[in-house]
A and B are shown apart, each in its own frame.
Chain A
């Protein structure tokens, strides 16, 4: 298959969204969102149920018209007159695979190869089937496949046209861990090939593992960046210190250490130090503890997962 984004004449970001909004009557689906997705990037779109993720994908996929704002998809402005050409350049895999269950896998793919008017459809179909390891099930009726295999067929269908941008809406929703892992490996493979992927999910482990950058949406865009950037923005960097017995005068030990901003006790013989630079603060703290005669069990940088970031953001909104 052609590398993604290889369409001539298309430069700049794969997706650029500028103050885009969508309302259904009085109900706000999403409001005033702006972001860009670079070519070849795996971009995660996170948010709780009802946050507007699927509506955003449908809007960018030209199924739903925005009520305000602008966007550029695969180099084309999001306007009704560009709908056909945008849809030619992208693929959308909806949350539900939406396969024709009475038709075989290959019949489903043949139909979509013709809808995309692909040259050499038989070759494309075989390549797409091999990409999702389904070549041996090509003649099976889709209705006889498990949910995980149907998801793979839907992914093969989305790959048929070598899209510039691939929108995956909750691709592992309802899958068991093994099937979800298979889909993750497929997405990893696409990322290695340079396909631009717009992935909506509420599985944070999935986003953390697969995405270069993530955006957190809850009707409006709450945060956007690399997972580590989000962690840095939301959580102060901390060192966790454990000693065998409580320190007699912890203030004397931790006070005035370079790069240590403050400290607080954590349990009977534990201390959490807020630091500006862990690489400077950790050796200094170790030396100070040894000088104070403490038996040090561990000194470690505290890690926050994307889940911590997400929950902190969502909790913050819930507490408003």
Chain B
């Protein structure tokens, strides 16, 4: 089976245009990063230089990985059930598009803004730390391995979160329920990154590589899983 880049691109462009004009979605995408960014930022900015020693044992930056674990699920959970409820799914499914192309387009459309938001928020967080935190605190917090982990795990976590949310979206019959279940499904990832950030789970190169490999594998199987649950007949008629 060949995937048509043009059809995937058509879905991505359409989705991105819709996101831009959907205020509730853009507000949702702004609120979650704010929650996960402001509170640790306030904590960091109020630390004195004595706190830099215990801070070196933690990985506060990884706390921001909750953003790619949660933000895309909002968009992706909407993707199939939203179209179904609007009545726009049927015309799309009468075109030559394959379900894999449709789902890949929707996943990419959710991934791109999510990664952008996560990186921008991380950049703003780092800029605020460098500008306003005490020098000892800033150097204890901003470390190259954490930055690399942030860069690498943002798309991996976002991808996994998207496939779970799309999977839920193909089975759900209500947008709100889909978004709630998708958020719940993202919580284990948030818990894992928080435990690493607080050094409850000690990060190492080996654990990072294993985690990355597992996430890569999950992302690869995500499309297959979502495609397997995407049933044109059930989505259109609500039966079967």
Interface on A for B, CB 8 Å cutoff? 24-25, 55, 58, 61-65, 84-85, 87-88, 90-94, 96-103, 107, 110-112, 114-117, 154, 157
Binds A, one of B62-70, B84-92, B218-226: B84-92
Within the complex, what minimum Cβ distance (angstroms) separates B110 from chain A?
A: 17
Whether the pair A84, B98 counts as a contact (CB closer than 8 A) is yes
Pick from B9-17, B38-46, B162-170, B188-196 the stretch touching chain A. B9-17
Q: How far is the CB of A152 from chain B (nearest CB, A)?
A: 14
The answer to whether B97 and A115 have CB atoms under 8 Å apart is yes
Known: A84-B98, A111-B13, A154-B91. A63 touches B232 (CB 8 A): yes
Interface string of B138-165 (1 = CB under 8 A from A): 0000000000000000000000000000
B240 touches A96 (CB 8 A): no
Q: Top 3 closest A-B pairs, CB basis?
A: A114-B10, A92-B94, A102-B21
Q: Known: A25-B239, A114-B10, A117-B4. Contact between A63 and B233, CB under 8 A?
A: yes
Contacts of A96 in B (CB 8 A): 87, 90
- The range of chain B's interface size is 20 to 34
Tell me the interface secondary structure of chain B in the complex: helix
CB within 8 Å of A: which residues of B? 4, 6-7, 9-11, 13-14, 17-18, 21-22, 86-98, 232-233, 236-237, 239-240
Residues of chain B lying within 8 A (CB to CB) of residue A117: 4, 6-7, 96
* Chain B residues in 8 Å Cβ range of A112: 10, 91, 95
Question: Shortest Cβ distance from B85 into chain A, in angstroms?
Answer: 11
Question: When the two chains form the complex, which single residue of B7, B11, B88 contacts A99, counting CB atoms closer than 8 Å?
Answer: B88
Given A102-B21, A103-B18, A111-B14, decide whether A63 and B9 contact each other with a Cβ distance below 8 A: no
Q: A63-B232, A114-B6 are in contact. Are A24 and B92 (CB under 8 A)?
A: no
Residues in B with CB closer than 8 Å to A64 are 232-233, 236-237
| Smallest CB gap from A91: residue in B | B94
**Smallest CB–CB gap between B90 and chain A, Å?**
5
- B22 near A87 with CB under 8 A, answer no
B17 is contacted by which of A58, A62, A90, A103 (Cβ under 8 Å)?
A103
Chosen A-B contacts, 10 in total, with CB atoms closer than 8 Å, are A64-B233, A94-B90, A100-B18, A103-B17, A103-B21, A111-B13, A116-B95, A116-B96, A117-B4, A117-B7
Q: Are A94 and B95 in contact (CB under 8 A)?
A: no
Instruction: State A89–B9 Cα separation when bound (angstroms).
Output: 21
In the bound complex, CA of A107 to CA of B18 (Å): 11
| A173 CB, min distance to chain B CBs, angstroms | 13
A88 touching B96, Cβ below 8 Å:
yes
Question: Does the CB pair A114–B9 fall under 8 Å?
Answer: yes
- Given A98-B91, A103-B18, A117-B7: A87 and B237 within 8 A (CB)? no
Q: Are B88 and A98 in contact (CB under 8 A)?
A: yes
Contacts of B10 in A (CB 8 A): 110-112, 114-115
For A25, list chain B residues within 8 Å (CB): 239
Given contacts A61-B94, A87-B96, contact A102 B9 (CB under 8 A): no
Residues of A within 8 A of B237 (CB): 24, 55, 58, 64
Q: Which listed residue, B90, B98, B239, touches A98 by the CB 8 Å rule?
A: B90
Q: Smallest Cβ distance from A92 to chain B, in angstroms?
A: 4
Q: Measured between alpha carbons, how far is A94 from B18 in the docked complex, in Å?
A: 22
Chain B residues whose CB sits within 8 angstroms of the CB of A110 once the complex forms: 10, 13
Selected contact of A100 from candidates B4, B88, B233, CB within 8 Å = B88
- Complex CA–CA separation, A61 to B232 (angstroms): 11
Residue on A with the closest CB to B22? Answer: A102
Instruction: List, in ascending order, chain A residues with CB within 8 A of B7's CB.
Output: 114-115, 117
**Which residues on A sit within 8 Å (CB–CB) of B233?**
63-65
Bound Cα distance A112, B7 (Å) = 9
Using known A-B contacts A24-B239, A87-B95, A88-B96, determine if residue A63 contacts B90 with beta carbons closer than 8 Å: yes
Measured CA separation A252–B92 after assembly (Å): 69
CB distance from A71 to the nearest CB of B (A): 16
Q: Is the CB of B91 within 8 A of A157?
A: yes
**Which residue, A61, A100, A101, A107, has most C-beta atoms of chain B within 10 A?**
A100
Report yes or no: A102 in contact with B17, Cβ–Cβ below 8 A. yes
Residues of B within 8 A of A115 (CB): 7, 10-11, 92, 95-97
User: How many whole Å from A174's CB to the nearest CB in chain B?
Assistant: 13
